[in-house]
Structures are given as C-alpha cells and as structure tokens.
Amino acid sequence: MATSVHQLYRRLETIGRGAYGSVHKGIEIATGNVVALKIINLDTEDDDVADIQREVALLTQLRDAPNVTQYYGCFLDGPRVWIVMELAQGGSVRTLMKATKDGTIEERYVSVIIREVLFALGYLHKSGIIHRDLKAANILITAAGKVMICDFGVSALLVTASSKRNTLVGTPHWMAPEVAHASAYDAKADIWSLGIMIYEMVTGNVPNAHIMDQAKLIQMLPRMKPPRLTEGEGSKELREFLVHCLRESPNDRLSADDLLKTKYMKTFIKSPPVTILKELIIRYEAWLSTGGSRASVAGPLSWEEDEERECVTMSKCWFDVSTGC
C-alpha cells in the first residue's frame, strides 16, 4: 500500500493562495525539516494531470541547479496534488525591500544577489530553459542568505540551443522589447529582465511604474529607449553593468556567463559571502516588529502579484516540450 502524503508531511499554516491553489508551511515528519507545500485541487482548478506532469518534469530536471528552489516530491491525495518544495523563510527580495524608507537595497547586497542569480541563469540557459518572469518578487532569500530563483510557472524549454520563442508571457514591466513585440526571442530575454530587476532594487521601483495599463505598456515597450540608472543611483561600475543587460538588441546583451566575467562581477565573484544577505532579513524582521506593514512601500500596484505567494512557490507551468508552445 502506498504511503499517504499525510504520513510524510504535516501541513501547518496557510501562507499563500492564488488561482493555482494554495501554499502552506509544512513539516517533514521524519526529519522535522520545514518545507513549502503547494496543494492543487484538480476538482476546482483548471490544472490537469498532464500540466502537472510537465511542471514536475521541469522541477525534476532542475534538482541539481544552483540557486533554484529545490523540489522534493509530488504526491496524489485524492483529488489533490501536493508539490513539496524548499521553503525560503527570508521571503522574496521584493518583500525585503519594504524595510527601508525608500524601498531600495544597498549595492553591497545588490551585487551579491546579481552574482547568485547569474549562477542560476547560466545553468538554466545552458539547459535550454528561459525563466521568462525574472523580478525581485521571484528571487528568494533563505534564512542562511542563499539566493534562489522561484516561480517557473511561465518558464519555457527550448528544444535546441538555437531555438527561439514568440509567446507573449511574463510581467510587462520586466518584459524585454522583443517579447512585447511578439518577435522571436531566446534566453537573452531573461538578461533584460535581470537588468530591470537591478533597476528595481537600486531605485525601489521598476521603470514606467506609473503606467498601470498593461496592454498600453506592452505596446509602448518596443518603442522605448532602454532604461538607465542616473548618477547617484548605484556606483559607476554598476550603472555600466546595467547597460550590458538593457540593450535594445538581444544580440548586444551579454550572456549570463559573460556578465560574470565583467570587471564589475569579477570584483564580487568570491566575496562577500551570501551570509551577508541575512542582514536584510534581520532588518526586515526588526521593521515588522516596530509596526512595519507587509503592504508595499508605495502601495500595491495593479501589475504586482501576491508577493506572499511568490515567496514560497511556483505557479502552474505552461510549457510544452514537444511543440515549443
């Protein structure tokens, strides 16, 4: 008789809800390890078994990936599917940004986050995977300071290294021009999103945050000049690094591996250690204890998803290995 998931894991408090189902903090009974439990009810959700199988296939492929949320297993529980994931108790970078008055993160932390994200992107892109929704809300920090990319719900597998996509997916404010234009695109779309994420961490918000109409923004993106940090927003070296990410032509953007070889990244390639990021968590917890609110510093924006959900799980994965859709 198959072991019930309830014999393996104990569900604790609910920490996120969304169209995909719910996420709970959980305990692995045998070890006492804390995990995230994503539970999808197939009777009430649009997900079907084939969709979940594809998502699990991607998660399994990424088990050895550096700086990616770890997948522990998938279990059937009547009409429900439990997907067990690593829980990042520090929360997302976007959440940790709330603890400062202007909602920004100091460059000594930004540089470490960039480095760790590039390690992950290098692995993903070599594996033919585009994340397609890179942003501060999808970068998690564990209690030990480890940086992890999460939410592969719109990630895509490229059949070959030279394959390209033309599907309009992602969050518009972080979307590369070629994606918004519905042109063919590849892994360099993630590099653009990384640049926008850097801008977000340094300034406290994304470029064109005042534009709430997503359809309008998508139409405007291909015609806009690439965003730039101004003097005083990060060091000169960081501003130059950003330019390598935010170039209009994907061919002019550096790859993840090449970005790690830039002068700016070489400065931080071995130090400081990720443990420095624990300071962000300590600051955030102190801020909460003195009355800080989990609401966004500038108020929730219409394009922002539920950050508490993004901090712990991945939404449904919409990729098709065989067709490239």
Residues of each annotated binding site: 38
- 86: enclosing H helix or E strand: strand 80-86
Distance CA 148, CA 90 (A): 11
Torsion region of 67: left, alpha or beta (phi above 0 gives left; psi -120 to 50 gives alpha): left
Residue 77 annotated to the active site: no
Distance CA 41, CA 32 (A): 26
Distance CA 25, CA 241 (A): 38
Is residue 122 classed as helix, strand or coil in its secondary structure?
A: helix
Residues 265 and 256 sit within 8 Å (Cβ to Cβ): no
**Among 133, 151, 186, 190, which one carries the catalytic annotation?**
133
Please count the other Cβ atoms lying within 10 Å of the Cβ belonging to residue 272. Answer: 14
> Which string of b and e fits 45-84 if b means at least 16 CB within 10 Å?
bebeeebbebbbebbeebeebbbbbbbbbbbeeeebbbbb
DSSP-assigned beta bridge partners for residue 10:
27
Distance CA 260, CA 262 (A): 6
- 83: enclosing H helix or E strand: strand 80-86
The amino acid at residue 175 is M
Annotated binding site for ATP: 38
Q: What angle, rounded to 10 degrees, do the helices at 188-203 and 107-126 form?
A: 170
Which residues belong to the active site? Answer: 133
